[in-house]
Amino acid sequence: MEKSLENKSKLPLTAIIIGIVSLFSDLSTEMAYPLLPLFISTLPGASPVYLGLIEGIAEATASLITGFSGWISDWFQKRKTIAILGYGLTTISKPIVALATGIPMVMTGRFLDRFGKGIRSAPKDTILANVATEENRGQIFGFERMMDSAGAVLGPLFAILLFYQFSFSLQTIFLLTVIPSVLAFGCILWVKEPDAQTSKKRTLSLKGLSKEFWVFLAINAIFNIGNSTNAFLILKTDELKMSVAASLGCYMLYNAVYSIGSYPAGIVSDKLGRKNILLVGFVIFSLVYFGFAQTQSTFWIWILFAFYGIYPALTDGVSKAMAVDLTTPEVRATAIGLFAASVGLTRIPASYFGGLLWEKYGSSSTFYFGAITSLLAFIALIFFRSKKGTNI
């Protein structure tokens, strides 16, 4: 019995390698991401609306392409090949923002970067799902989220060192993000893809997606309609006249909490149920957004960023595991892709209207809106019921 429990808790080698891939990939992205609002603010015609639009389009692109990529991945049963294509495109796109002289070029660079993420995400997550069991699914997805967010801690740290210690320009830092991106691409080549779990005739069918899966997607969409880009959190620090180093420090703190909490949150969700963990995450998000709407204190900004890190730790990996719980193996990548697409369909309006509210009524209105929609999602999730799986 002890040996059985030990095997269930042991991470497969494939999950470890994908975790390392996620570490390098997010390190690359997060070296530039927290500096992006500051960089955009120096370009002609910049405004919070443009920032929200750029990030909304970028994130929506990633999520919507993930939906299509998941569908194709289920059709061809070639997860690794599609993931490699995505990581390759992301690497190629990295220098574009560094060379940007205006908003359109920044938007192009972010679009291509997130397009690559969209291609790779569903196949990568499906490889994880295929090496997991129902008993350790939350643990495996939590580990990947932990490694991903660890990259988001190291990225801003390197950015601070390069910007302040070595006086590198923002453009040079953006160019250097190519290095960890290449390392991520190299590591994904070492992943061994599990054998296809179905020999059934290939059909582009959604029959394996349960009614509960679609209801869960709708609840998640309610939550995300107010979950605008994190760039607005960084813009809040700029509004309070915090330094670039302090802004990056806040963002690193958020990602550190996110990284530390993701793995244990996944393990706990395997034991106590995904829904219970998600409910706590939704409440924390709402409280933190109310806090961002109210505070004018830099001290409280640090506290809020720390608590904000708890929210994705409790929701990101757990929600993916729950989406998989509500499906069959034949359409697993499709389900993961549609889950990401449901987020993407809300990203443009969430970030655009977040920027519009900010510009018209001030930053508080953006955060109040997010706090209210997360409470609505919390109420809807309370009444969610499912007969599928033992961990929901």
Amino acid occupying residue 219: I
Query: Residue 302: what pLDDT?
Result: 96
CA separation for the pair 378, 392 (Å, rounded): 15
CA separation for the pair 35, 32 (Å, rounded): 5
Q: Which two tokens stand for residue 320?
A: 């993916």
Query: Residue 199: what pLDDT?
Result: 46
What is the DSSP code string of 282-294? HHHHHHHHHHHHH
Q: Which CATH architecture has domain 13-190+208-382?
A: Up-down Bundle (1.20)
**312, 185, 121, 198 alpha-carbon torsion, rounded to 10°:** -130
Full-model pTM: 0.76
Query: Residue 23: what pLDDT?
Result: 95
Amino acid occupying residue 87: Y
Q: Where do the structural domains in the chain lie, given as residue ranges?
A: 13-190+208-382
Query: Residue 219: what pLDDT?
Result: 94
Helix axes 332-361 and 363-382, enclosed angle (nearest 10): 140
Instruction: Give per-residue pLDDT as tens, 209-262.
Output: 788 999 999 999 999 998 887 878 988 998 888 887 888 888 889 989 998 999
Helix axes 211-224 and 363-382, enclosed angle (nearest 10): 160
Instruction: Give per-residue pLDDT as tens, 104-158.
Output: 788 888 888 889 988 998 899 889 988 888 788 889 999 999 999 899 889 888 9
Query: Residue 170: what pLDDT?
Result: 82
- pLDDT beneath 70, residues of the chain: 1-9, 44-52, 55, 194-208, 387-392
Query: Residue 245: what pLDDT?
Result: 80
- Three-class SS of residue 376? helix
Handedness of CA 289, 291, 293, 297 (dihedral sign): negative
Report phi then psi at 225, rounded to 5: -65, -20
3-state secondary structure 310-329: HHHHHHHHHHHHHHHHCCCH
Cβ partners under 8 Å of residue 360, min gap 6? none
